[in-house]
Amino acid sequence: MNKIAVSILNCDFGNLNSEIEMINRSDATWFHLDIMDGVFVPNISFGFPLIQAIKSKAEKPLDVHLMIASPDRYIKDFKAAGADWLTVHYEACTHLHRTVQNIRQEGMKAGVALNPHTPVSFLEDIVADLDLVLLMSVNPGFGGQTFIENTYEKAAHLCEIIERKGSKALIQVDGGVDTNNIEKLAKAGINIFVAGSFIFRATNSIQTIKKLAHETPMKR
């Protein structure tokens, strides 16, 4: 079964409790929370109070994706708010190895995200220390964008690096994931699929998550 991380960015925040309960009852693996600061990306999402509220009701781990500048300042705060997995952007970290160490020292799983233009080869020296690599298949900042086709090639290249380095890192993809491309992504080596607008715009969100989760077996 595919691991589905449901992005709440496109959920109905006026009915947040029912949306959380829907995800709890579904075949989703994680809640995916996109944190945006209006600096690293041209959008603002939500902060610690909402993360805490979701954590109090979520029955699945919180996968927190930081699209923010200087993420090191807030690592302890995200742990306190309830993050189980914390992913920072390669492009936002001056001392990436130190940042990854700090995340792990707080007891969270550590991930690194790459923007569409950033080569996966940049992770050669750190991938063995990661629990997760997130490939952005759209430019970060907004939901509902068109999937970037070069992602398949990047995923295959990343698989090769992970295997060669003896890393146990999972590969996650975020942006434009739907039933038309999830099988090809899985065959390219993706382990975890972030989906938001495709799920929340569907007539039946639980059935949509189920279809994504069972679309095709994972390669790795």
pLDDT tens per residue, range 94-123:
999 999 999 999 999 999 999 999 999 999
Is 185 within the bounds of a domain?
yes
Length of the chain: 220
The DSSP H or E segment spanning 170 is strand 170-174
- Asked if 152 contacts 185 with a C-beta cutoff of 8 angstroms, the reply is yes
Domain of residue 139 covers: 3-213
How many domains does the chain fold into?
Answer: 1
- 215: tokens are 């679309």
**What are 182-218's pLDDT values in tens digits?**
999 999 999 999 999 999 999 999 999 999 998 755 4
Is 175 within the bounds of a domain?
yes
pTM of this prediction?
Answer: 0.94
pLDDT at 124 exceeding the cut of 60 = yes
Mean pLDDT of 3-11: 95
Is 176 within the bounds of a domain?
yes
Mean pLDDT of 128-140: 95
pLDDT of residue 216: 59
| Catalytic sites, residue numbers | 34, 174
Is 141 within the bounds of a domain?
yes
- Buried/exposed 97-106: b ≥16 CB within 10 Å, e otherwise: eebbebbbeb
Is 125 within the bounds of a domain?
yes
Instruction: List beta partners, residue 6.
Output: 31, 195
pLDDT of residue 220: 45
- Asked if 187 contacts 154 with a C-beta cutoff of 8 angstroms, the reply is no
Is 197 within the bounds of a domain?
yes
- Asked if 3 contacts 29 with a C-beta cutoff of 8 angstroms, the reply is yes
3-state helix, strand, coil in the chain (%, to 5): 40, 20, 40
Q: Which residues contact 189 (CB under 8 A, 6 or more apart)?
A: 155, 156, 158, 159, 171, 219, 220
- Asked if 48 contacts 82 with a C-beta cutoff of 8 angstroms, the reply is no
CATH at 153: 3.20.20.70
Is 219 within the bounds of a domain?
no
pLDDT at 145 exceeding the cut of 80 = no
Instruction: Report the chain's C-alpha Rg in angstroms.
Output: 16
- Choose the weakest-confidence range: 40-44, 50-54, 122-126, 214-218: 214-218
Task: Please state, in angstroms and rounded to a whole number, the distance separating the CA atoms of residues 85 and 33.
Answer: 10
Backbone torsions φ then ψ of 177, nearest 5 degrees: -75, 130
pLDDT of residue 143: 63
Is 122 within the bounds of a domain?
yes
pLDDT of residue 115: 95
